[in-house]
Structure 1
């Protein structure tokens, strides 16, 4: 049976959106007006590594087939069976997006978040004290409208980027990891997620199952496996005067990377994760060798962003709340906050 899926975020959201559309579901992708106008003129295109000869697997959808395009103001969450949240956290604070999120919350539709910074309603399901979240979220008021049982989380482990800003309908997957989704609280929502996972896996292109799957997991703590990776790699791409690839951030000082990774792993275990939910450092370090681009966080800061996802700040707060020493993360947090302040000052001086 075909489900109706509303995907917030036309950039990264194109990855799950196209895969679900190709699996036979009706997908509506929400983006900016200029963005979706351009996307609607050409076939949508998803490029994934996967062939033995090194050539990419290219998935395409003609304009208007499989995926509908709309804006935040025009989106109708009440017409959807599930909502995928594929924007970066500060984007939800935009007034038009915040208004849409209010309608999503009121609709009661299940929401699968694909965000590095977990939404507060999901963290509430882990029993995390809301006091630890103060000042972390740019969009805190938005999330207060959601019931915890309405939201679950899948780590955005797959790395994808628009290589050409002039072609927003073309997304290149640079690391084809799977989406591992924590279970929903409500049985009917989980049944739909399980169905989406099966349909996604059943799709084949030229007789081959493309990489990047949607895996419906049984543990609520599976997405926490991404946290040590974000701290050891993504959040350490800032360097004096510029940014560096994730691979370099991890391997330039492997001992420090491992210390950070282990510290955040211990935090995840203290919150209820099992060893089986997490990824050993050696496996991550090997995979990180292929991460030859700076993180989206670093790229945003290099491009002058004044608001970014603060997973660094969240994890430092949680380390302190759980009785661990937060000091190892302080230089990371300080570097990000210094770059944010520089960007804000540059904008203010230009005004």
Structure 2
């Protein structure tokens, strides 16, 4: 894929980083009529390793966050519109089979059933014996889940930006009159402008496998997840290793993931196709980092979306575009002003 430098003209915003955060924010700004430049180091981002899972109900307590229904609606509309515009398929609404790890999880689920706003997210259809393999505590089918093919999306967006002459390689000079937005993922911890933000990067690994038998289309989750990408291929993940600081493929992680899929699909055989590692840009309070540097308003950050980036980024990209274009207020939960006291 050939890359070109932006034409020699004034630009409004320079975006550093071409993962999902940088790419979707760039797309929103272009659609708002702004002139942008995207600076990429050409290396693989964590977004290309991520599963792209969109799961509205999370954690052992089956939590549905207040803004999640609105975020789901916007994400569906956002990705569908991109599919139409770019002529691709990248967004796949898919039921999710959630297998309980213990009796405690089952009790939390039963309590959620008594809350009316949870009703649209659970199917009343019982799971089959085949779906309940290695699930002594049972499980449930969660609705309104989906997965995002991040590689297809990022490749298509890269071509779109190239067609608009928007991409350049590092190193590059940024115009001091423009706003530079830092979307480097976990590498923000090496950025002297924003290294004070309390990032909690988490190393994770996934594998891509081919199955001997046809796979059911549903996503299956039991601590780890199995995501069918075709009738005979799937992605399995993900490990969580906060002590590893750089993407590194671990043999023990690969074996743990292979063991997981074998325990779920005992009547099937899987051949390993690939093994990948990445660093999730998670944060201390599990909220993203968005906003302007306290002492230099020419620099901003759009980062820290962790493992829920496929759901969160469209929502916050739209909101931050409104901030950048129309000076609207950044949502308090995401505004880096909450950590301003750490910037010295």
TM-score, normalised with respect to structure 2:
0.29
Structure of larger gyration radius? 2
Q: Name the one with the larger strand percent.
A: 2
